[in-house]
Amino acid sequence: MARKILSKNFKKFLIFLFIFLITPSFAITPADMVVVKKSEHRLYLMKNGKVIKSYHVVFGKNPKGHKIKEGDSKTPEGLYVLDYKNLNSKFYKSIHISYPNKQDIERARKLHVNPGGDIMIHGQKNGWEMFSFIMQRFNWTRGCIALSNKDMDEVWKSVKVGTPIKILP
């Protein structure tokens, strides 16, 4: 009898464990801010001023300094907003950063250059997913912030349109 009860409880435990392991996390905490530290190659999801999760990221080929003009392969620095999501990107999911802002446009105007745009947080280039372990070891974007596809899924779920993003040197 005791063996039957133990066996029944063990089966329940195995079912629970199986469901827990195959079910995507229900506890995705919505971030109220995203902070990117270029010098650390980290993207931080924040909630009430505390880090809830962090991810390794890579940037443009020329990551030091603020983006000034189109084609400089720099990732902008400053405070922006994540203003829309795109499932039909050339990359695995993308979230648009509101670069250029008024200051960026004014700076570019004074320098007689185009500030560029189309800066995103995104996963790997479609068709290149299998090379993520290599691609995440060097800066390869044209100024965007790139994560592995797995990490992009988590960021995608945690970040809502309208979330502020602070990009630091």
CA–CA separation, 128 vs 168, rounded Å? Answer: 28
Residue with tokens 């990359």: 91
Q: Is 96 a catalytic residue?
A: no
CA–CA separation, 97 vs 117, rounded Å? Answer: 9
The active-site residue out of 41, 56, 66, 144 is 144
157 in Cβ contact with 53 (< 8 Å): no
Q: Is 112 a catalytic residue?
A: no
CA–CA separation, 78 vs 29, rounded Å? Answer: 24
Q: Which of 163, 164, 141 is nearest to 62 (CA)?
A: 141
Catalytic residues: 122, 144
